[in-house]
Amino acid sequence: MSSGDNITGELPQDDAYDLDRKLVAQILEAVEQGDQQTLTELLEDLHAADIADLLEQIDSTERTRLIHLYDREFDGEILSELDESIREEVISILNPAVLAEAVRELESDDVVDLLEDLEEPQQEAILDVLEDADRVAVEQSLSYPESSAGRLMQREVVMAPEHWNVGQAIDYMRASEDLPEQFYHVVVVDPRAHPIGNVTLGRIMASRREVPLTDLLEDTFQVIPADQDEEDVAYAFNQYHLISAPVVDGEGRLVGVITIDDAMIVLDEEHEEDILRLAGVGEESSLADKVIETTKRRFPWLAVNLVTAVLASLVIALFEETIARFVALAVLMPIVASMGGNAGTQSLTVAVRAIATRDLTGSNVWRVIRREVLVGLVNGVIFAVVMAVVGIVWFGSPALGGVIAVAMVINLVVAGLAGTVIPVLLEKAGIDPALASGAFVTTVTDVVGFFAFLGLAAIVLL
């Protein structure tokens, strides 16, 4: 039974697809003992994605020993499933003959994905093991701009002339020896190789042989230009519920096809990239990164955060005398800043996600801003009441309770406004809002929060 089988009929639990810890321990023990037979047996039923996860989770030394021991059994699908951060390391460890056999098993789009992030010597080593036709196809894909549909597509396409019927298409597919391993549509083309529609395999198999393919064309049909950005491709697949789509060159001729699995990988990578950028840890961060690499990626944003913290401290310094006379202000200041920062992050996350999915547009931006400001106002009033009570009960000062209450309302309203407006303005300026918004929003909420709280305190309490 493979690791993905579920014979109980029960719904999968949260950890249903995690690697079994006992299995991992057995695999590592087999590696430690140099037991190739046991290792091969343990890995035999694992999906390529699970083996890739295993390689990503163990340390470099264990990874090297496992690869050397597993060697001849190494599947090309494992390479395509590996995180980019360790793929190059794994390729450098593999025996050249094993690498050649693994690469030959892959579709052209997977080979392109492998080559994109490798140094030129390693690229040449992989290209040299491909058959001439495959090498030409891969090199043509690599000639397209990075992160374009041309890089994402696979060159293996099942196409049929528009005058064919179902029987001719079936006979062609049965006779062909080089069909893609997986495909969902037959692309119908005109005499100039321009795609005119897709026919699903299901409709072909359910129709009589004499039915023309043009009678079975799908209603939804999208053609993807080869130079289109892969983010736009993924959006089209998600928006129009596509399973596959033909890719065309500048003259509209069919050059490849993109399937849903590749589009979903792009979507997943974009979401992961946005999360990492929002956190300021770099878009290519992974658990396999070394200390120096991780430090270099995080340092710039920590430096930016230091600058914003200094700005907030300068605001505090303006009210040094007020704080010295009312020590309670020093106790309550972090509460105002923290609440504003969290509220700003909430609005910011919603806005950045909406921009990425193209749900936040010029037609609804003011409605979204108004909503976030009103949410900030309502939450501000609620927590203002709570903090007013805290100020009165804890410090016995109704005036202090009133000051922190008003400051709370002001900061949460500004947080809602800044969390929405800042990413929108950055996007209009051509700056990635996921990358830069966090620092600006934090600065605004800290400065406004401290200034409102301490300024009001200076006016009311002195």
437 plus 389 within the same structural domain: yes
Together in a domain, 318 and 450: yes
Among 139-153, 181-195, 349-363, top mean pLDDT goes to 181-195
- 133-153 tens-digit pLDDT: 888 888 888 889 988 999 999
- Whether 395 is in a domain gets the answer yes
Sequence-distant (≥ 6) Cβ neighbours of residue 379 within 8 angstroms: 343, 412
Write down the residue that tokens 């300021």 correspond to: 280
Tell me the average pLDDT of the chain: 86
Q: What 3-state DSSP class applies to 428?
A: helix
pLDDT tens-place string over residues 242-254: 999 999 999 999 9
My answer on whether 324 and 393 are in the same domain is yes
The pLDDT of residue 2 is 42
Do 267 and 165 sit in the same domain of this protein? yes
- 327: confidence class by pLDDT, cuts 50, 70, 90: confident
312 in a structural domain: yes
Assess whether 367 and 446 both reside in one domain.
yes
Q: Is residue 110 domain-resident?
A: yes
Question: Read out DSSP for 271-335?
Answer: HHHHHHHHHTS-TT--TT--HHHHHHHHHHHHHHHHHHHHHHHHHHHHTHHHHHH-THHHHHHHH
Give 16's pLDDT tier (boundaries 50, 70, 90). Answer: low
Which region among 83-87, 136-140, 220-224 has the lowest average model confidence (pLDDT)? 83-87
How high is the pLDDT of residue 60? 87
Residues facing 218 on adjacent strands: none
pLDDT tens digits for 289-307? Answer: 667 776 776 677 678 778 8
pLDDT of residue 258: 95
**Given pLDDT bands bounded at 50, 70 and 90, which one contains residue 280?**
low
Last-in-domain residue among 279, 311, 343: 279
- Of 279, 303, 320, which residue is a domain's last? 279
CATH at residue 80: 1.25.60.10
HEC string of the chain? CCCCCCCCCCCCCCCCCCCCHHHHHHHHHHHHHCCHHHHHHHHHCCCHHHHHHHHHHCCHHHHHHHHHHHHHHCCHHHHHHCCHHHHHHHHHHCCHHHHHHHHHCCCHHHHHHHHHCCCHHHHHHHHHCCCHHHHHHHHHHHCCCCCEHHHHCECCCCEEECCCEHHHHHHHHHHCCCCCCCCCEEEEECCCCCEEEEEEHHHHHCCCCCCEHHHHCCCCCCCEECCCEHHHHHHHHHHHCCCEEEEECCCCCEEEEEEHHHHHHHHHHHHHHHHHHHHCCCCCCCCCCCHHHHHHHHHHHHHHHHHHHHHHHHHHHHCHHHHHHCCHHHHHHHHHHHHHHHHHHHHHHHHHHHHHCCCCCCCCHHHHHHHHHHHHHHHHHHHHHHHHHHHHHHHCCHHHHHHHHHHHHHHHHHHHHHHHHHHHHHHHCCCCHHHHHHHHHHHHHHHHHHHHHHHHHHHHHC
Going by pLDDT thresholds of 50, 70 and 90, the confidence category of residue 76 is confident
Query: Do residue 203 and residue 174 come from a single domain?
Result: yes
Is 10 within a domain?
Answer: no
Last residue of a domain, one of 245, 279, 313: 279
What is the model's pLDDT at position 180?
87
User: In the predicted model, is pLDDT for residue 279 greater than 60?
Assistant: no
Do the domain assignments include residue 195? yes
Per-residue confidence (pLDDT) for residue 433, from 0 to 100:
83
pLDDT given at position 282: 55
Residue 62 has pLDDT above 80, yes or no: yes
Say whether both 419 and 298 belong to one domain.
yes
CA distances from 392 to 371, 403, 437 (A): 32, 11, 36
Assess whether 306 and 431 both reside in one domain. yes
Per-residue pLDDT, 195: 97
In residues, how long is the chain? 462
**Is the Cβ–Cβ distance between 314 and 426 less than 8 Å?**
no
Q: Are residues 202 and 260 in the same domain?
A: yes
Question: Residue 436 pLDDT > 80, yes or no?
Answer: no
- Does 248 share its domain with 336? no
Q: Any idea which of 6-10, 360-364, 383-387, 449-453 has the lowest mean pLDDT?
A: 6-10
381-420 pLDDT, tens digit each: 999 999 999 888 988 889 999 999 999 999 999 999 999 9
Q: What is the Cα–Cα distance from 179 to 175, expressed in whole angstroms?
A: 10
Residue 366 lies in a domain: yes
Nearest Cα to 79, choosing from 120, 26, 116?
116
pLDDT average, residue stretch 342-356: 88
Same domain, 240 and 299: no
Is residue 11, in this structure, part of any structural domain at all?
A: no
Q: How many domains does the chain have?
A: 3
Residue 139 shares a structural domain with residue 216: no
Share of the chain above pLDDT 70, in %: 91
In a domain, 149, yes or no: no
Whether pLDDT at 354 is above 60: yes
- Domain extent, residue 28, equals 21-143
Residue 242, domain CATH: 3.10.580.10
What is the predicted pLDDT for the residue at 31?
92
pTM over 0.75: no
